[in-house]
Amino acid sequence: MDTKAFDQLHLENGTILSCERIDTGIFQANENLRFTGLPPFYRVCATLSPTPSSMVNVELWLPEPEGWNGRFLGTGNAGGGGSIYYYQLRYGLMRGFATGNVDLGTSPNADAATGFVEKQNDFGNRGTHIMTVAAKSMIEQFYGRPASYSYFSGGSTGGQQALIEAQRYPEDYNGIIAGCPGSNRTHLHAQFIWNLQAAKTDDGKLMFTQEELDKITARVVERYAALSGGAPGDNFLTDPRRVKVDVNIFNDLGLSTAQVEALRKIYEGPVNPRTGKRIFPGIVPGSECHTGGLAWGQDPEFWLRVIAFPFRWVFGSDFDYQSFDFDKDMDKVDEQLAQVVNANAADLSAFRDFGGKLLMYTGSTDTQVATFDTIQYYERLIAHEGGLEKTQEFARLFLVPGLGHMQGGPGINDIGQVVSSSEVEQDAEHSIINALMEWVENGRVPEKIIGTAYHNVDPFSGDGNGIRFQRPIYPYPLFPKYTGGDVNDPASYVPEAHERGAGQPSDELYFER
């Protein structure tokens, strides 16, 4: 197929910058990121400008016609966006999708949107939609027919994008995967500031060493793993909602009084000091030592570069986290940004009536987006729909034991949400994207997904370094119950209903914003 065909394409409020055919199997994204083993594809780069102050960068990777599965996959970004997320493009291409990604209009980083309301809108609620519209147009003109089905998959910020799509643009996608969604954005970032304030030291040194964090997590697991469900020998919590950490369990670990008090506040989560209402849950017990946990969350020099952008949008580039007021300042942030970046609306009736299907997932060891917040959103969806059974007809939540933030973690680290190892068949029973397609296209309702824990998974190369164990994951509020036998065998588990509820709910006031 000739790339000159793209010269004739028209994009509304956009420009196609380049199109190249890549048939070497190699793509060098940047100096530090190189993919190999790729099928031949066409790489299309475009810029969209829905407003004069917008510049939204989009990439579309198109398989050769004989390698296309006939579907479009929109994919999510991470953090504050600012660049194309190439891992996600590879994720779709390797599965045969025509795959799109967007920088959310915040290139080169989210601070670029400071002072630019339209860029903030592109990040929060518009960029993914206009990428979707443009990608569908290019796909139809390139292949001579539209995609048979359109799907979206994203985690973290990508999970926010996923829920924004379901809530505000319900006819963009037939099926959506929203992983560990950073959808309660303004309040999630308030938790990050809360943790930094709690862990601040007088001498400027980090409050906890990695060794201390390892001991803290080990103690939490030792005391509470059995209570949370799971199996003998688990080094993670299966259902952290059942755990309320008593910081006195750390008394013999050699921690200082200041460290124990900081942990108490961090587990509690941000609270309005005037009203006592919880703004956002605390960190997930058992996540303290893992990648992205308190080692990051206590470090202002590093962490503020990643998470402070919403506050800079409101208070300016000289924002000082130490003076942030969780009463008046929180209200100011919500007044300016909640309708722009938060995806808290529980009304998905338009998406449901369109025939859309939603699969949500979150890890029980998520280090960055509290598991409790994701569950609370789903509970609000249940309340709006009038019951669990009605909700599960189009939207299901899977709580993955031991999964970290989208990937990694001490337990299950693969449900097909990233480029998986070839050691596990990528069918509807083992892969969430395949499960979604079966549900949308064939009406096969996903009753379980068998998750895999690799020894040392590299989610982007497909190298799992061997399987540690597998375990079935059931739609919330069902959890895997060990019945005896080999703890590593999925056949040793049956579904068991746990109590409903978020575990550590935010005040509804902060979910309505």
Per-residue pLDDT of 272-286, as tens digits, reads 999 999 999 999 999
Confidence of residue 357 (pLDDT cuts 50, 70, 90): very high
At residue 421, the pLDDT reads: 53
At residue 424, the pLDDT reads: 66
Contact 112, 119 (CB under 8 A): yes
At residue 33, the pLDDT reads: 87
At residue 466, the pLDDT reads: 81
Average pLDDT over residues 294-318: 96
Average pLDDT over residues 385-395: 98
Average pLDDT over residues 394-398: 98
At residue 480, the pLDDT reads: 98
State the DSSP string of 111-134: GGGTT-HHHHHIIIIIHHHHHHHH
Average pLDDT over residues 372-378: 98
At residue 10, the pLDDT reads: 76
Which residues make Cβ contacts (< 8 Å) with residue 272, sequence separation at least 6? Answer: 278, 279, 326, 327, 330, 507
At residue 31, the pLDDT reads: 85
Alpha helices in 289-370, H assignment, sequence order: 294-297, 300-307, 309-315, 328-341, 349-353
Is pLDDT at 89 greater than 90 in this prediction? yes
Confidence of residue 9 (pLDDT cuts 50, 70, 90): confident
pTM of the full structure: 0.96
Average pLDDT over residues 343-363: 98
Confidence of residue 5 (pLDDT cuts 50, 70, 90): low
Confidence of residue 426 (pLDDT cuts 50, 70, 90): confident
Is pLDDT at 30 greater than 90 in this prediction? no
At residue 32, the pLDDT reads: 86
Confidence of residue 419 (pLDDT cuts 50, 70, 90): low
At residue 447, the pLDDT reads: 97
At residue 458, the pLDDT reads: 61
Task: Give the chain's mean pLDDT.
Answer: 94
Structure tokens at 376: 């609370």
State the DSSP string of 352-395: HHTT-EEEEEEETT-SSS-HHHHHHHHHHHHHHHTSHHHHTTTE
Is pLDDT at 153 greater than 60 in this prediction? yes
Confidence of residue 462 (pLDDT cuts 50, 70, 90): low
At residue 4, the pLDDT reads: 67
